[in-house]
Amino acid sequence: MMDRNGNPWQKREPPGRRTTFPVPANTNQHEVDVRERDYTVPAVAKALDILEYVGIHESATLQDIVKDLGLPKTSAYQLTRTLLQRGYLRSTRMPGGHALGMRLFALGNQAIGQIDIRSEAMPLLYELMRSVQQTCHLGVLEGNEAMYLAKVDSPQSLAVGSWVGKRFNLQSTAMGKVLVAWRNPQEVRTLLLSNPPTSPTEHTIMDVDEYLVQLAEVRMRGWAFDDRENVPHMRCLAAPVFGAQNSVVGAVSITASAEEVTDATIPEYTTQLTLIAAKLSEKIGYRAQRTDTAPLR
């Protein structure tokens, strides 16, 4: 059987959860075997296999599940009946068909609400800082402005006048461009007109139509560039962080002097930047779509 992307379905074998502990020199082999015992519960693993299988195929019959997962028919029937009764599966219009149930949707939303994007981002920001040796930020949209949620300074780079909680303009910053690039153009116009740049530089894009053209480029390449548009001697690169609902929920950025962000360094910086943004997106629930860019909201 094929999955919905046209690839052969392969059962994913869940890894055994082995718990290891330091073993004192006087510990006998029986105690070692007990401590390293696999504590996976087979019935739970099979139920999860069923849910993942149905999720990939969107709908599946008991016969499909038995055949492709290699489960005994009686076990598969008991597990699917239990999942149906608890709301983790639901019946479809296809005779004997099963699809994911709304109980999973509810639990998924609860999980999303419990994710702390800043906590998830901090290790990744440090990873990014070490790879590019520049100051890195995490920011979010707050009303008609952007705001820094996290900052990791590089000991090698020029001091950047930013701090956690600082607000900044959407129109003159790379992070601002990323945060609005996937929004409806009329909504972007409203945001920009409500809060124009107060201290534009000679490089700031003041024309809204020109700005919207640049946002289309941001969506195409997956990152934004602030070329001395916010601070005369500084350049910034930013990439979007997508959430579980496939919308932009934040942005990750690299900030450095204009002398350090050049045609020679931008390819490496943006490679590392987009990689970290993708990792963070996955951590908070985003799953990449078939298209290269997310749709406008």
Summarize pLDDT for 52-67 with one digit per residue, the tens: 899 888 789 999 999 9
User: Residue range 226-252: average pLDDT?
Assistant: 93
Predicted TM-score of the model (pTM): 0.64
Query: 187 and 68 in one domain?
Result: no
Are residues 281 and 242 in contact, defined by beta-carbon separation less than 8 angstroms? yes
Are residues 60 and 54 in contact, defined by beta-carbon separation less than 8 angstroms? yes
Higher pLDDT residue, 170 or 5?
A: 170
Classify residue 21: in a domain, yes or no: no
User: Based on the number of CB atoms within 10 Å of its own CB, is 285 exposed (0-12), middle (13-18) or buried (19 or more)?
Assistant: middle
User: Residue range 231-250: average pLDDT?
Assistant: 92
pLDDT at 289: 61
Answer positive or negative: Cα dihedral of 276, 251, 291, 109.
positive
Phi-psi region of 27 (alpha: psi -120 to 50; beta: other; left: phi over 0): beta
Least confident of 97-101, 110-114, 221-225, 239-243: 110-114
Residue where one domain finishes, among candidates 67, 91, 111: 111
Residue 108: pLDDT above 90?
A: no
* Dist CA 41 CA 15 (whole Å): 11
**Residues 10-53 pLDDT 10s:** 554 444 433 343 444 444 544 444 444 567 888 999 999 999 89
Confidence of residue 6 (pLDDT cuts 50, 70, 90): low
Query: 121 and 86 in one domain?
Result: no
Query: 166 and 46 in one domain?
Result: no
pLDDT at 292: 43
Specify the pairing of strand 248-257 against strand 234-242: antiparallel
CB atoms within 10 A of CB 104: 17
| Residues listed for the chain | 297
Where is mean pLDDT largest: 38-52, 109-123, 176-190? 176-190
Number of domains in the chain: 2
* Dist CA 268 CA 260 (whole Å): 12
Classify residue 212: in a domain, yes or no: yes
Query: 102 and 172 in one domain?
Result: no
Query: 227 and 121 in one domain?
Result: yes
Higher pLDDT residue, 95 or 28?
A: 95
**Residues 129-181 pLDDT 10s:** 999 999 999 999 988 889 998 999 988 777 788 888 888 899 999 999 999 99
Residue 5: pLDDT above 60?
A: no
pLDDT at 96: 87
Higher pLDDT residue, 94 or 203?
A: 203
Confidence of residue 296 (pLDDT cuts 50, 70, 90): low
pLDDT at 250: 95
Query: Which ranges in the chain belong to alpha helices (H)?
Result: 29-35, 42-57, 62-69, 73-85, 102-113, 117-132, 174-181, 185-194, 208-221, 266-283
Residue where one domain finishes, among candidates 60, 80, 111: 111
User: Residue range 264-288: average pLDDT?
Assistant: 93
Residues 128, 133, 137, 138, Cα dihedral to 10°:
0
| Domain membership of residue 175 as a residue range | 115-283
pLDDT at 32: 43
Query: 135 and 44 in one domain?
Result: no
**Residues 201-218 pLDDT 10s:** 999 999 999 999 999 999
Residue where one domain finishes, among candidates 55, 88, 111: 111
User: Residue range 177-186: average pLDDT?
Assistant: 95
Mean pLDDT of the chain: 84
Least confident of 113-122, 213-222, 279-288: 113-122
Least confident of 44-53, 87-96, 120-129, 284-293: 284-293
pLDDT at 295: 52
Structure tokens at 178: 């990323």
Classify residue 5: in a domain, yes or no: no
